[in-house]
Chains A and B, each alone.
Chain A
């Protein structure tokens, strides 16, 4: 049964720490690269944590800044200051 959520980001230097943070925090994340774009699939739940991005980036990061590199996503969203979560609930 298909159960992946996904997030797609522009393949830019700005997106690199976000991609690295997602890979670090989601063991089952699969990164698919295509021209100009990175799509990350993950079964049922994917989390982006502010602290992990800040570690990779070496400075403060506002999670809402993903709007500048986000291309698309799939899944129900829960967002606060610390975490951005995509999930399916079935």
Chain B
């Protein structure tokens, strides 16, 4: 079909709308106008070499984003009008959505802040334009998620006051610390951490199998905002890959710096995603795929292909990737066991897998699950039957880097707990793994200042020094937390099911 020749082509339009937007400053030296883009040691000789391969310009951006928003809000209206909360597979499922709202949604806001800083901080106008788009995207994700969850909040516990618990809940320091670590680094490390390691290498595991799982479990709201957000995400991932290639191409001195960041942020991202894997394996009543399978597809296939491509720049696979792959058979079981024991101190419910789910876990995880984790769940089930549902009485020791409770085991021995210690300025700091210990030892002055919630709580800095005081300060009611079976969510769901069965 004939094209309209009077129009600019994509590449001409991109050049016109992302170049020549700035100037060499004369009242102030450029280094004072852009004070943060050199101290990390990254050398850029020609910012004009940076290109957005999508060649997205502001006019096209607004057009597509407006269209995405119109579609999304039409569906969210429909979710509300049609009582779609009753169409999900089971109310247990919503606890995965609560983790999303409590843990992931605030990251969207943190990303909004981070990319605003980058949209000001980089010297190159093309990269600044792309970061400004992304900042607006991230705010959109935050808002659409809060709007989508607001409907569930009318019926179910755990969805209220997300901003307060984001600041105060001990377990939410896991995702929060990831972004705060990135935001307190320089702009190049931030974009490597977020756009490349988190978005390119790892968020496919969050937005693809998990959101597909939301679709499978009848959650129209989450599926819709999830895929709508992920359509922006593919642009963000592309920015991440381009900026990494750009740094590597600009100067050979950048290669070892970038490699260290990839090592660090691969491990931090992997640790964070253990939580997503747990949502997939334990919190989706109807399964799409297991964490093990998702890891094989999205890391062992797609992630490794990406690193093969980067090998020509002198980049090798990230440190400790073998450990991550070895842990694919155990990480979600160790994680769920931990959440199960501590859910009375969260705004979530937990439960034990039923017989059918136990069979699925055995099929997906084989002998290791059957030997180690199934007996543990059966033991807890016996306790539960005796009216002694198992909860820990104290909060756990958490890793000084990833802030995950130290429940992990040695890579070559899943029966032996690991806790590694680094001493810095006379204080001992505990870590969950060689990966996190390497990160601590590389920047001890940074991580020795980390805010570790359980320590702060027991020092009395969070409403008092007991778990009860702390729960009050957090504004968690007994009804919001603990065991799912018998909870208010469970009772409401049973009532709806009984009504549906009657007609």
Contacts and interface: CB of A to CB of B under 8 A. Distances in A.
Interface string A43-74: 00000000100100000100011011111111
A26 B167 CA distance: 49
Contacts of B311: 90
A2 B11 contact: no
B403 interface: no
B213 A64 contact: no
Interface in B217-267: 223, 227, 230-231, 233-235, 237-238, 241, 245
Interface residues of A, number: 35
A50 B156 CA distance: 46
A1 B301 CA distance: 8
Contacts, number: 109
A78 to B, nearest CB: 7
B207 A72 contact: yes
A74 B215 contact: no
Nearest to A32: B297
- Max chain A CB contacts within 10 Å: which of B53, B234, B306? B234
Interface in B470-488: none
Contacts of A24: none
Contact of B230 (A34, A71, A81): A71
B481 to A, nearest CB: 30
B302 A6 contact: yes
How many B residues touch the partner, as a band?
35 or more
A76 interface: yes
B312 A70 contact: no
Nearest to A78: B53
B60 interface: yes
B47 interface: no
A28 to B, nearest CB: 14
A65 B300 CA distance: 31
Contacts of A77: 53-54, 238
A16 to B, nearest CB: 16
20 contacts: A2-B308, A4-B305, A8-B208, A35-B213, A35-B288, A36-B212, A37-B208, A37-B227, A51-B1, A54-B1, A65-B64, A67-B231, A70-B234, A71-B207, A71-B234, A79-B53, A80-B11, A81-B9, A89-B309, A90-B308
